[in-house]
Amino acid sequence: MRFWFESEFSEVFGLTEQPSAANADALYDQLAETVSSPAFRPRALFDRFRIAVLATTDDLEAHARLAADPGFAGRVVPTFRADRYMSPDEPGWAARLARLAGSAGIDTGSYAGLLAALRARRAVFAAAGGTATDTGVIDAGSDPLTEAAAARIHRSALAGTLAEADTVAYRRNLLYRLAEMSAEDGLVMQLHPGVHRNHHRSTYDAFGPDTGHDLPAVTAFTEPLAPILRDFGTNLVFRLVLFTVDETAFSREIAPLAGFYPSVYAGAPWWFLDTPAAILRYRRAITDSAGFAKTSGFIDDTRAFCSIPARHDMSRRVDAAFLASLVVTHQLGEEDAFGLARRLVDDIPRQVFRLG
Amino acid sequence: MRFWFESEFSEVFGLTEQPSAANADALYDQLAETVSSPAFRPRALFDRFRIAVLATTDDLEAHARLAADPGFAGRVVPTFRADRYMSPDEPGWAARLARLAGSAGIDTGSYAGLLAALRARRAVFAAAGGTATDTGVIDAGSDPLTEAAAARIHRSALAGTLAEADTVAYRRNLLYRLAEMSAEDGLVMQLHPGVHRNHHRSTYDAFGPDTGHDLPAVTAFTEPLAPILRDFGTNLVFRLVLFTVDETAFSREIAPLAGFYPSVYAGAPWWFLDTPAAILRYRRAITDSAGFAKTSGFIDDTRAFCSIPARHDMSRRVDAAFLASLVVTHQLGEEDAFGLARRLVDDIPRQVFRLG
Amino acid sequence: MRFWFESEFSEVFGLTEQPSAANADALYDQLAETVSSPAFRPRALFDRFRIAVLATTDDLEAHARLAADPGFAGRVVPTFRADRYMSPDEPGWAARLARLAGSAGIDTGSYAGLLAALRARRAVFAAAGGTATDTGVIDAGSDPLTEAAAARIHRSALAGTLAEADTVAYRRNLLYRLAEMSAEDGLVMQLHPGVHRNHHRSTYDAFGPDTGHDLPAVTAFTEPLAPILRDFGTNLVFRLVLFTVDETAFSREIAPLAGFYPSVYAGAPWWFLDTPAAILRYRRAITDSAGFAKTSGFIDDTRAFCSIPARHDMSRRVDAAFLASLVVTHQLGEEDAFGLARRLVDDIPRQVFRLG
C-alpha cells in the first residue's frame, strides 16, 4: 500500500514531498487542484497510462455507450460473470435469475432455460469485445449432474424446498457447465476459488460485501477440477486461468496442472498476494513446473484506477529481478531474459486472454 | 542450537575456545567454576541480561514470595493457563478441577462454578501483575454451547459417563468462554494450537510429557476461530495473539486475520520455527498483510534461562536483516527502518501485552 | 530441463553450439555419430560418470546376468517393491499375487502366504545386493489389522467380494507389515506417498501409466505414520526415508519427524521438486529441525541415464550455495562447510542406505 501511495503521489500526481502533519493541508490543496484538471479525467489518464486493454465486470450498457462514443478510442471490454446464478440458497437468487431472463429474452424458470440464457448472454458479451469470464466460488468442485438431477434441484430451489446438500451439488454442476460453455465459445475461464466471504458478520451488516472482511481459505485445485479437466483439459478451445490466495497451491497444484494440461494457466498472484515478496515467491514456486508461457501475466484486479501504473510497474520490476536472478546464476541467458521481460507483459497476456 | 550454545559459551560464560575432545575437561572445569560464582546466580543474570519483563506459567506462590523479597526489584509476572481444565476425558481432570476449587474458594462441581472459579483466578493473576493468559489446544475450534449443554457435559464428565463427541464440544466451548473472559478482564489471550502431543507413546511413558516427542500438526485459524472473532474480534478490550508451528498459516490465515481484526496479533515464530531462516520467512509472509505493529515481538518461550540473550540477539539480527532488505530495495526509508528495529523489541511488545 | 539438456549436450556429448533451426541437422548428425561410438555404451558411461552405486527397481533376472558378467565390475543393486500387492481393488492384483507365488515358491492364496512370500523375496533381493525397498502409496496411512481381519479381506478380494472400505484398510495394514519386515531384515524403507495417479484418463488410455498425467496431492506424514513410528520409530534396525511432492510437509512434518525419530530420514526433493529453487527451499525448510545427517543425499530418480551427471552436479551446486549462505552469515564455519559438502554426497547417503 505504501508503495502504491508513494508511486501514485509522485508519478501520477506529481507530489514531491513526503506527506506529514506539517504539509497535509498544502498537499491536499495541491491534489484537489490537480485532479480537477482536464489531464486527470479518466480518459486522459487511460491514454497517459498507455493501457492497451482494460477488462471490467460491469454490465454491458456502459460498454455500449463507450463503444458508441466517437471521443474515445481505447479498448475497454466486458467480462462475463455467472457466479451470481450458482448459489440457489442465497437471498436474491431467484430475482437474479429473473433479471437474466429479461436481458437474455429466455425463460430461466427451468434449468435448461438457465443454460440457454447463459449461452445467449455469453455470446452478447463476446460480441461486445469480451474474451473472458470470471467465476468466484468457495471451492473449485466441478462434478457434473445429469440434466434430470440438475433440473430437479433448480425446480426445488424456485419452489423454496431446496435441500442443503443439493446447494453444493448445484453449484459444482454449474461450474462444470461453464467450463463446457468455454470449450464451445472460447471465452477464457478465470477461476477465483477459496475466499471465505463475510467472515465478520457485523462489519458485513454495517458496510456490505467486499469491504475488507473476506479472508483466504485452504484451496484445492487438482482433485476438485478433475471432472472439468478430464473432459476439457486437452481441448484446444478451452482455456482455464487459476487464481489463488492460498500460496501453498502454487507449487503443489497450479504449476503442475499448468505444466500438464494445455488449457491451464497459472493466474497472477491475487489480492493478499499481489505484493513484491509474494510475486517473487510465485515465480519461484511456479516456474519450474509451468515455465513462463503458462502464466497469465500480471492482473491488478484493482478498483483504484490511479494505482494501475504503480502496480504494473511493481510487478514488472519483480519479474525483472526474478529473471536477473536466473541470469546471474547461469540458468538463463541475458538475451532470453530481455525477451521474456517483454513477453511477460505483452505477448503472453495477449495470447492467454485471446486479445488478438 | 549451535548458535545458542556458541553464543552462551562465549557471551554469557566467557569461553574463548571451540569445544573439542582435547579441551573438554578444561572447559568443563572452567564452566563449573564460572556458574558457581555469585555473578551467575539467577538474579544477577536477570540484571545482566537487562530483562525488562519475564513472564512465566508457574503458580502464584513463587511469584508472591519473589514480590515480597526486598532483594529483587525485577519484573516477573505470572501467566494464567486454563488449558488443564479443557479436556474432561484426560486423566486427572477432576483432580485439577478440585485443586482449582481449592485455590479459588469456589466449588467447581458445576459448570457455572468452573467459570466462576476461572474468573476469580484470572483476577488474582492480574492482581499479581499478570497481563496475559496462555492456552495450548489441539485445534482452535471455538463453538460456544448453551449453558445447559455445557453443564450437562460437565456433569457427565464428573460422573464418568462422558461421550467422546462431547469432549471436543466441551473444549471448544471453553475456548470461547476464555475469549469471552479476556474481552471482560483484558488479559491478553495467547493461543498455541496445532501440536500433536506425545506422538511416541513409549518415550512418553519413559520420560513424561514435554520431552521431545511432540510434533506439528496441520493448523487452521480462520474457520475455527470464527465464533470468537464474530463476537469479540472488534472488541477493544479483547486481544488475541496467534502462534503456529505450521508455517503455511502465516500468509494464508494469521496475517490476513491480524490485518482485518483489531484484536488479532501475529505471534512470533514458535518452537520448530524460532530459527533465523524461519523467522525471516515469517516476516516475509506476515508483513504484507499484517505490517509490523500487529506482530507480537519475539518471545523465546525457553526453559533455558541462559539462552535468552542468544535467542533475542538472533531474532533482532534477523529482523534487522529483513528491514535492511526493504531499505536496499527502496521499500522502506532508512530512518523508518531504524525506528522499527527499536519498536519491534520495545514499544510493540509492551503495547501488545499491555505491559504499561 | 533446460539445464539438463545444456549440461548433457555440452558435458556428456561434447556439443559446443546452442541448438537452433540453423544447426539442427548438423547437431543431429554429430549426436548420432557420438552415441554409436563404444565410449557411449552404457557400461562405458557408468565408468565415466564415476557411479559408485546404481539402484534400480527392475526384476532380479537382469541383475543376476549383470553380476555374472565378468566384463562389468560396477555396483548395480535391485530395490524391492511391494506396492503392486497393496491394492486388492486394482485390475491384475490377483495375477500379480500369482506371479509372486511363482517366484517365491510360496502360495499367496492366503494372507499369511502373502506375508511369507514377501519375506522370502526380500531376502532374495538382499542377497542380490539390495539394501532398500520402495513403496509408492496414495497416502501414508499405516494402521495395522489383526491377522484375522487382514486374512478375511484377502480372501474376499480373491473371491471378488471385496468391500470398498476394506481396500484402504488392507493397503494401510500392508504398509505397516512392510515396516515390520524392514525392522526385521534391515532393508531401508523408502516411502513415496501423495501422488494423484492418472489424473487425465484419456491420456492414460492412450499412452499408459507414468507418462506425465500424475499430479501432486496434499500429503500428510505425522498422523498417518503414527502406528509405524509408535512400534518401530526408535528401533535401531528400522530405517524410513520419506519423500514428498507437497513441499509444505518439509518443515511441518518430515523435518520434525526426522529430528525426533532415529529411524526417520528426510528424502531428497523429488519429481516436481528436484530443481535448483526447490532444493534450496528444501534445505532451508529441513535443516533447522533435521540437520544434514538426517537427509538422504540427492537421489535423481531418473529414467534418463545421461542426465545423471547433470542432476547430481546441480544438486551439489545448490547444496554448496546453501552451505555458503550459512558461512557468510556466520552460522557455520568454512571448514565445517567443506566437510559437509563432501559428506552430503558420499558418507551420508552411504550410511543412510547401508551401502557399506
Q: Does residue C39 have a pLDDT over 80?
A: yes
pLDDT tens sequence across B205-215:
999 988 889 99
Determine phi and psi for B105, rounding to 5 degrees: 70, 30
Neighbours of A227 (CB within 10 A): 18
Query: Best-predicted range by mean pLDDT among B297-301, C5-9, C151-155?
Result: C151-155
Q: Which of residues 5-64 of C touch B (CB under 8 A)?
A: none
Instruction: Indicate the residue of B200, B203, B216 with minimum beta-carbon distance to C253.
Output: B216
d(CA C159, CA C161): 6
Residue B272 touches chain C, beta carbons under 8 Å = yes
Taken in order of first residue, the domains within chain C and their CATH numbers are 1-7+42-353 (3.20.20.140)
Cross-chain Cβ contact A260/C202 below 8 Å: no
Quote the cell numbers at residue A160.
Answer: 423454496
Rounded CA separation C23/C237 (Å): 56
| pLDDT tens for each residue of C304-334 | 899 999 999 999 999 999 999 999 999 999 9
What residues does C266 pair with on adjacent strands?
C242, C295
Contact state of C200 with A253 under an 8 Å Cβ cutoff? no
User: Which of A200, A276, A278 has its CB closest to that of B230?
Assistant: A200
pLDDT in tens, chain A (356 residues): 888 889 999 999 999 998 999 999 999 999 999 999 999 999 999 999 999 999 998 789 999 999 999 999 999 999 999 999 999 999 899 999 999 999 999 999 999 999 999 999 999 999 999 999 999 999 999 999 999 999 999 999 999 999 999 999 999 999 999 999 999 999 999 999 999 999 999 999 999 988 889 999 999 999 999 999 999 999 999 999 999 999 999 999 999 999 999 999 999 999 999 999 999 999 999 999 999 999 999 988 788 899 999 999 999 999 999 999 999 999 999 999 999 999 999 999 999 999 98
Q: Cβ separation of C234 and B273 shorter than 8 Å?
A: no
Question: What is the sign of the dihedral through the CA atoms of C157, C161, C167 and C169?
Answer: negative
Cα gap A275→B200, rounded to integer Å = 42
Please list, residue by residue across A24-55, b when 16 or more beta carbons sit within 10 angstroms of its beta carbon and e when fewer do: eeebeebeeeeeeeeebeeeebbeebebeeeb
Task: Report the C-alpha gap between B174 and B83 in whole angstroms.
Answer: 9
Q: Which residue has the cell 491420456?
A: C203
- Verify whether the Cβ–Cβ distance B278 to C288 is below 8 Å: yes
CA–CA dist C165, A88 (Å, integer): 34
DSSP 8-state symbol, C136: E
Q: Which grid coordinates are listed for A186? A: 472460447
Q: Which residue is closest to A277 within chain B, CA to CA? A: B284
Looking at beta carbons, which residues of chain A come within 8 Å of B331? 2-3, 276
Distance CA C93, CA C44 (A): 39
Interface residue B202 vs chain C (CB under 8 A): yes
Q: Which residues contact C75 (CB under 8 A, 6 or more apart)?
A: C52, C53, C54, C129
- Is B330 an interface residue toward C (CB < 8 Å)? no
Between CA C285 and CA C294 the distance in angstroms is 13
Q: B84 vs chain C: nearest CA distance in angstroms? A: 23
* Interface probe with C: pick from B10, B205, B215, most Cβ of C within 10 Å: B215
Please give the Cα distance from A56 to B288 (Å, whole number).
26
Per-residue pLDDT, B313:
95
Q: What ipTM describes this predicted complex?
A: 0.95
Closest residue, chain A, to B325 (C-alpha): A277
List of chain B residues with pLDDT < 50: none
Tell whether B222 lies on the interface with A, counting CB pairs under 8 A.
yes
User: CB of C271 within 8 A of CB of C301?
Assistant: yes
The pLDDT, as a whole number, for residue A302 is 82
Provide the 10 A C-beta neighbour count for residue B296: 21
B275 with C288: Cβ contact below 8 A = yes
Q: CB distance from B328 to chain A under 8 Å? A: no
Tally the residues of chain B.
Answer: 356
Task: Identify whether the C-beta of residue A262 lies closer than 8 Å to the C-beta of residue A297.
Answer: no
Q: What is the pLDDT of residue C58?
A: 77
Query: Is residue C223 within 8 angstroms of chain B, CB to CB?
Result: yes
Query: Among residues of chain C, what percentage have pLDDT more than 90?
Result: 94
Residue B216: strand pairing partners: B195
How confident is the model over C90-134, as pLDDT tens digits? 989 999 999 999 999 999 999 999 999 999 999 999 999 999 999
Closest of C194, C57, B133 to residue A223, by C-alpha: C194
Query: Closest Cα partner for A189 from A249, A247, A233?
Result: A233
What is residue C184's predicted lDDT score, i.e. its pLDDT? 98
Please list the alpha-helical segments (H only) found in B51-197. Answer: 60-68, 93-104, 111-127, 147-159, 164-185
Q: Which helix (H) or strand (E) holds B226?
A: helix B226-232
Residue in this structure with the C-alpha cell 545458542, named with its chain if needed: B4
C242 — pLDDT class (breaks 50, 70, 90): very high
Quick one: cell of B208?
513424561
- Residue C41 DSSP label: S
How far CA C261 is from CA of C181, C226, C228, in Å, comes to 18, 11, 11
Shortest CA distance from C245: residue in chain A: A252
DSSP symbols for B162-214: --HHHHHHHHHHHHHHHHHHHHHH-PEEEEEE-EE---SHHHHHHH-SSSS--
Task: Tell me whether residues C203 and A255 touch, CB distance under 8 A.
Answer: no
Chain segment C163-213, per-residue pLDDT in tens: 999 999 999 999 999 999 999 999 999 999 999 999 999 999 999 988 889
What's residue B27's pLDDT? 96
3-state secondary structure of C288: helix
What integer is the mean pLDDT of C208-228?
A: 94
As a whole number of angstroms, the distance between CA B218 and CA B212 comes to: 18
Instruction: Give C284-287's long-range contacts (Cβ < 8 A, gap of 24+).
Output: C284/B277, C284/B281, C284/C322, C285/C247, C285/C250, C285/C251, C285/C255, C286/C250, C286/C251, C286/C254, C286/C255, C286/C258, C287/B277, C287/C255, C287/C322
Nearest-by-Cβ selection for C331 from B247, B248, B276 = B276
What's the CA gap between C116 and C124, in Å, rounded? 13
Count helices and strands in chain B by DSSP H and E runs:
16, 9
Taking CA–CA distances from B18, the nearest residue in chain C reads: C333
Question: In angstroms, how far is CA A45 from the centroid of its own chain?
Answer: 22
Task: Tell me how far apart the alpha carbons of residues C13 and C29 are, in angstroms, rounded to a whole number.
Answer: 12
B309 vs B297: CA distance, rounded Å: 15
pTM: 0.96
Residues in A touching C203 (Cβ below 8 Å):
234
Closest alpha carbon to A292 in A253, A349, A247, A248: A349
Contact between residue C171 and residue C86 where contact means Cβ atoms under 8 Å apart: yes
Which residues of C fall within a CB distance of 8 Å from A331?
2-3, 276
Contacts of C146 (CB under 8 A, 6+ apart): none
Q: For residue C328, what pLDDT is reported?
A: 96
Phi-psi region of A330 (alpha: psi -120 to 50; beta: other; left: phi over 0): left
